[in-house]
């Protein structure tokens, strides 16, 4: 591990999130579709970082990116667009009972309120992040059943903690080339920097993006 991404949510212009799931599809002679999924789903992020002075954010950001040694190191990031749960969930949420690899429904207790479809969770002591895919509201005993994707990749023990706000994703950089450059100056003559890793947009014009991918 090589630290936590140092830039606050105020320093992102945009951030996109994607789910990556390898699927093998073939067709039989009768035309029936045959599909098989390889169980290695992971999330990826594409971020556009604001233009700024080296003294504000870019000195620290440059140092952090260099410290990653291209794609070699892993680091954590809390994506600003998903840092808070959509629901009004609260409490010290714990896994209720034992759950096996491949399970997609997880019983929890110690929960009040609701986790909504699209919220992210992580089980304490695990690196994998999961998405809640159906609204789950705690009952009068503060218990609920969470439906998640992808299926569990590691077994859960009773009373493992559940993180639902500020969920950290463990990621690595996607590209070997990481480039910064001066793109102008502010009204006081201070040089302004931009992260210059270019990736073509669908409409063909280049945009400056930082690409990271979780390894689980």
What was the pLDDT predicted at 48? 80
Is the pTM here over 0.85, yes or no? no
- Quick one: average pLDDT of 184-206? 61
Calpha distance 138→14 (Å, rounded): 33
For residue 216, the model assigns a pLDDT of 57
Q: What is the mean pLDDT of the chain?
A: 83
DSSP designation for 84: S
Contact 87, 113 (CB under 8 A): yes
pLDDT score, position 207? 37
Summarize pLDDT for 88-99 with one digit per residue, the tens: 999 999 999 999
* Sequence spans of domains, the chain: 9-80+170-214, 84-165
pLDDT category, 202, cuts 50, 70, 90?
very low
Instruction: Please tell me the predicted confidence (pLDDT) of residue 214.
Output: 61
Average pLDDT on 148-163 reads 96
What pLDDT is stored for residue 10 in this prediction? 59
Mean per-residue pLDDT, 99-103: 96
* Those residues with Cβ within 8 angstroms of residue 63's Cβ, 6 or more apart along the chain or in another chain: none
Q: Is residue 73 a contact partner of residue 130, using CB atoms and an 8 Å limit?
A: no
* Residue-wise pLDDT tens digits, 20-74: 887 788 887 787 877 777 767 888 888 888 878 877 777 888 888 889 888 888 8
pLDDT number for residue 57: 74
CATH code assigned to 84-165: 2.40.30.290
Nearest alpha carbon to residue 52 among 185, 168, 164: 185
d(CA 32, CA 25): 10
pLDDT at 201: 30
Q: Which residue has the tokens 């840092």?
A: 83
């Amino acid at each position: 591990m090589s630290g936590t991404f140092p830039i606050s949510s105020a320093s992102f212009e945009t951030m996109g999130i994607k789910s990556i799931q390898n699927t093998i599809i073939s067709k039989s002679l009768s035309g029936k579709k045959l599909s098989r999924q390889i169980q290695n789903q992971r999330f990826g992020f594409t971020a556009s970082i604001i233009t700024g002075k080296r003294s504000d954010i870019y000195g620290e950001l440059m140092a952090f990116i260099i410290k990653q040694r291209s794609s070699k190191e892993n680091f954590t990031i809390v994506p600003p667009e998903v840092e808070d749960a959509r629901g009004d969930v609260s409490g010290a949420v714990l896994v209720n009972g034992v759950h096996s690899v491949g399970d997609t429904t997880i019983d929890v207790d110690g929960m009040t309120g609701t986790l909504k479809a699209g919220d992210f969770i992580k089980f304490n002591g695990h690196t994998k992040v999961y998405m809640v895919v159906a609204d789950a509201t705690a009952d009068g005993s503060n218990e609920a059943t969470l439906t998640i994707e992808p299926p569990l990749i590691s077994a859960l023990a009773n009373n493992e903690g559940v993180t639902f706000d500020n969920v950290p994703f463990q990621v690595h950089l996607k590209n070997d080339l990481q480039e910064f450059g001066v793109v102008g100056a502010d009204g006081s003559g201070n040089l302004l920097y931009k992260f210059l890793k270019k990736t073509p947009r669908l409409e063909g014009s280049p945009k400056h993006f930082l690409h990271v991918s979780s390894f689980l």
